[in-house]
Amino acid sequence: MLENDGSLDFKDTSTSRVKNIANTLTEQLASLKKNNLYRKRTIKEEGRFLNFSSNDYLALGTEKVIKEAYCEGFRKFAVGSGGSAFLGGYYSVHSQLEEAFASALNVDACALFPSGYSVNCSIPRLLESIHTIAVIDKNIHASIYDGISLAKAKALRFRSNNLEDLESKLKRNNGNKVIITEGIFSMNGAISPLNEITFLAKQFNASLIVDEAHSFGILGPQGLGAVAGARLTQMEVPLRVIPLGKAFSASGAIVAGEKIWIDALLQIARANIYSTAVSPAFCYGLLKTLDYLLNADNRREKIFALVDYFRMRIKNSSLLWSNSYTPIQNLQLGCPKLAFSFSEALKKENIFCLPIRPPSVSTKETGLRININYQHDFKALDLLVDTLEKINKERKF
């Protein structure tokens, strides 16, 4: 407790109180384990498993040219930035990366953030500061929900990709509003109907923000994302979030769009202001990766050929699949325990595919998320589908 002078009184701290906290934590963890919702970090064993849980869609993480670019970066630049972007941690290579993204995306400006999570947590804070309501897709990433909660921002949810419900929500509010959605939804692989959403945005005088975490590198000309694929510009989408942990096979995030939006976000994004800037050496690797990704049409073509083949293979499946034509395929099992059991059964066959469970998805979508990437082939997809069917037929769980 605090004494009158504001100092802490440690004499009041009792052993029993500490034990009560420990007991509460123990009960909380036991409840998660009982309901098959306990999250466990799994050490990745290279080469042993056929991996269907990686977000490295273009398989750039193992590409020799990319690895050499990072090595070159660590020879040329400092390992660490030494501070936040506003306190001595912003190098010329950071600026070069931002300018390269801005040129590729044909936008006014870009800014590098430590992560996509840090960008998305900051956006609701910006909207709240200008008295603007966020109209969000129900399946938007958890980081947007966390940002809304932290900023105590006003928000309305619409059913995922449901244009009628979006329209009804837009009609409810006559003030400033911003629609927030994703290019490709991370859990079920659905693509947002951005052209139709843009039409509604114009009709109701709303702006549009798109999270391109799973669409950048995959959709659009040169893999520039869902916004580019829909032939939209910063006039229709003044802010795009491009996390670099998926097709880019790295970390960090780029936020791209109109200069006024970028400037305003930089001024209010505490998650960026008070975080150490991305390593300049690492940033050099990002710069070279961007050039490689823009010229990787052959990899994107192969991925979508694999997706088409996979959809053909599951057409008469005994299992329930989401209707996705992107590299993300969702096997809907509807039960956390069943999802965990399927994942463990696959592991025994040297197939790595982790379960997705609440709160990441609804109970209906609980199951397995299959991520198809460039390193897969038809034989790998055959093995996965045949093994899943076998598990479902012979299972005793």
* Extents of the domains making up the chain: 38-58+296-394, 64-294
Separation between Cα atoms, residue 389 and residue 331, nearest integer Å = 12
Distance CA 137, CA 158 (A): 5
One-letter amino acid at 56 equals D
| CA-closest candidate to residue 290, choices 255, 244, 326 | 244
Nearest C-alpha neighbor of 90 from the set 112, 108, 71: 112
Minimal CA–CA distance to 105: which of 233, 270, 266? 233
Report, as an integer, the average pLDDT of 177-186: 98
Q: Which amino acid is at 135?
A: V
Q: Could you tell me which of 194, 235, 249 has the C-alpha nearest to residue 60?
A: 249
pLDDT recorded at residue 136: 99
Amino acid at residue number 356 = I
Non-local (6+) Cβ contacts of 117 within 8 A are: 143, 146, 243, 271
DSSP secondary structure string for all residues of 382-393: HHHHHHHHHHHH
Give me the architecture of the 38-58+296-394 domain, per CATH: Alpha-Beta Complex (3.90)
Confidence of residue 15 (pLDDT cuts 50, 70, 90): confident
The answer as to CATH 3.40.630.30 being correct for domain 64-294 is no
Residue 242: strand, helix, or coil: strand
* Tokens at 199, concatenated: 């039409």
Q: Tell me if 104 sits within 8 A of 224, measured CB to CB.
A: yes
Per-residue pLDDT tens digits for 144-158 = 999 999 999 999 999
Average of per-residue pLDDT across 374-392 = 98
For the beta sheet containing 367-371, the strands, ordered from the edge strand earlier in sequence to the opposite edge, are 320-321, 328-332, 367-371, 355-356
Condensed to tens digits (0 to 9), the pLDDT of residues 17-70 reads 777 998 999 999 999 988 888 988 877 776 679 999 999 999 999 999 999 999
pTM, whole model, 2 decimals?
Answer: 0.90
Residue 4 has pLDDT above 70, yes or no: no
The pLDDT value given to residue 42:
78
* 3-class DSSP assignment, residue 369: strand
Q: What is the mean pLDDT of residues 69-84?
A: 96
pLDDT band at 16 (very low <50, low <70, confident <90, very high): confident
> According to the model, what pLDDT value does residue 356 have?
94
Summary count for the chain: helices (H), strands (E): 14, 13
Q: pLDDT tens digit string along 301-337?
A: 999 999 999 999 999 999 999 999 999 999 999 999 9
User: What one-character DSSP code corresponds to residue 165?
Assistant: H
